[in-house]
Amino acid sequence: MTARLWQTIIVCALLLCWSFPTFADVAVPQLTGRVVDQTGTLSSGDIAALTQKLRDFETRKGSQIAVLIVPTTQPETIEQFSIRVAEAWKIGRKKVDDGAILVVAKNDRHLRIEVGYGIEGALTDVVSRRIIDEIITPKFRTSDFGGGISDGVDRMIRVIDGEPLPTPARSVSMADDWNDLGPAIPFALLGALFLGGILRTILGRLLGSVASGGVLAGVAWLFIGSLGVAAIVGVIGFVLAFIGDIFSTAGPGRGSSRGGSWSGGSSSGGGWSSGSSSSDSGSFSGGGGSFGGGGASGSW
């Protein structure tokens, strides 16, 4: 074999090696929240608003919707890429299969709505295509990506709302319960202090503390809608009301110590509040839903 032939073989081998990464499939991004933007297209405010909207919808309806923005899906088509995302993320409830994913490939100028088996009767291929063509892409053409995605998600939510689905559990996930618990802790502290003092005077220490915990739990359930959070708030309210009554009977020296203790409790409450935000902070996960390629694609 001549030296020239060897050189040709080596050059071809190097070219093949360099070309393999070019044609490798785009990796499926990790599911870190209801909105995953790998392009920096959406502002933090856009992401927070979308996340809260999708979280509220899941709490009320049970269905899960996720949004993914990537630079490109090449060398795959957006249909091939989005079904891989759906299979990896498993958006929607297991055996209900009521998940949907809005995938946007910004540099390719392509997008797709991927629909789970359980809501294909409502969010049909035709309906999905109309949402893309009539609502999302007109705003994308004016570079209003946040508005297009938000309006598209709104329409998807309205369509899925018309589909009869199993009633969701009051608390969608333990992670969301912890997120909701943050703002509830200062409420429990203040409620136990003021309401507890009134009810203890009327009903006595034990019954007044029980009544305080029950009232606080009921208010938390009404405004937050989570049985887990309501139970925790009720227990906190009872304990603090009961302890507060004991401290209120202590002498001046004990009273001074109590003041320092309450100050520390308020600081802890603030810590919980800072940990709670409208973003998922990595707490969101798919519920095990299945997809079969239903949905529609479009471009702008």
Q: How confident is the model at residue 30 (pLDDT cuts 50, 70, 90)?
A: very high
Query: How many domains does the chain contain in total?
Result: 2
Q: What is the mean pLDDT of the chain?
A: 77
Same structural domain, 88 and 159: yes
Same structural domain, 66 and 108: yes
Q: What local confidence, expressed as pLDDT, does residue 256 receive?
A: 41
Same structural domain, 84 and 223: no
Q: How confident is the model at residue 291 (pLDDT cuts 50, 70, 90)?
A: very high
Same structural domain, 123 and 41: yes
45 pLDDT exceeds 90? yes
Same structural domain, 162 and 187: no
Q: What local confidence, expressed as pLDDT, does residue 225 receive?
A: 56
Q: Are 121 and 86 in contact (CB under 8 A)?
A: no
254 pLDDT exceeds 80? no
Q: What local confidence, expressed as pLDDT, does residue 262 receive?
A: 35
For residue 278, is it within any domain? no
pLDDT (average), residues 226-237:
71
pLDDT (average), residues 85-110:
95
For residue 143, is it within any domain? yes
169 pLDDT exceeds 80? no
18 pLDDT exceeds 50? no
* Enclosing domain of residue 92: 35-168+289-299
Share of the chain above pLDDT 90, in %: 47
CA–CA dist 288, 198 (Å, integer): 48
The answer to which of 33-42, 50-59, 196-205, 283-292 has the lowest mean pLDDT is 196-205
Same structural domain, 79 and 201: no
Same structural domain, 96 and 66: yes
Of residues 210 and 193, more confidence is placed in 210
Of residues 231 and 156, more confidence is placed in 156
Q: What local confidence, expressed as pLDDT, does residue 1 receive?
A: 55
The answer to which of 11-25, 28-42, 212-226, 266-280 has the lowest mean pLDDT is 266-280
Question: What 3 state SS string does the chain have?
Answer: CCHHHHHHHHHHHHHHHHHHHHCCCCCCCCCCCCEEECCCCCCHHHHHHHHHHHHHHHHHHCCEEEEEEECCCCCCCHHHHHHHHHHHHCCCECCCCCEEEEEEECCCCEEEEEEEHHHCCCCCHHHHHHHHHHHHHHHHCCCCHHHHHHHHHHHHHHHHHCCCCCCCCCCCCHHHHHHHHHHHHHHHHHHHHHHHHHHHHHHCHHHHHHHHHHHHHHHHHHHHCCHHHHHHHHHHHHHHHHHHHHHHCCCHHHHHHHHHHHHHHHHHHHHHHHHCCCCCCCCCCCCECCEEEEEEEEEC
Q: How confident is the model at residue 295 (pLDDT cuts 50, 70, 90)?
A: very high
Same structural domain, 191 and 150: no
Same structural domain, 157 and 199: no
Per-residue pLDDT tens digits for 99-138: 999 999 999 999 999 999 999 999 999 999 999 999 999 9
For residue 20, is it within any domain? no
Cβ neighbourhood burial of 256 (10 Å; 0-12, 13-18, 19+): exposed
The strand pairing partners of 297, in sequence order, are 112
Same structural domain, 142 and 184: no
Q: What local confidence, expressed as pLDDT, does residue 16 receive?
A: 47
Same structural domain, 101 and 137: yes
CA–CA dist 106, 243 (Å, integer): 58
Q: What local confidence, expressed as pLDDT, does residue 279 receive?
A: 60
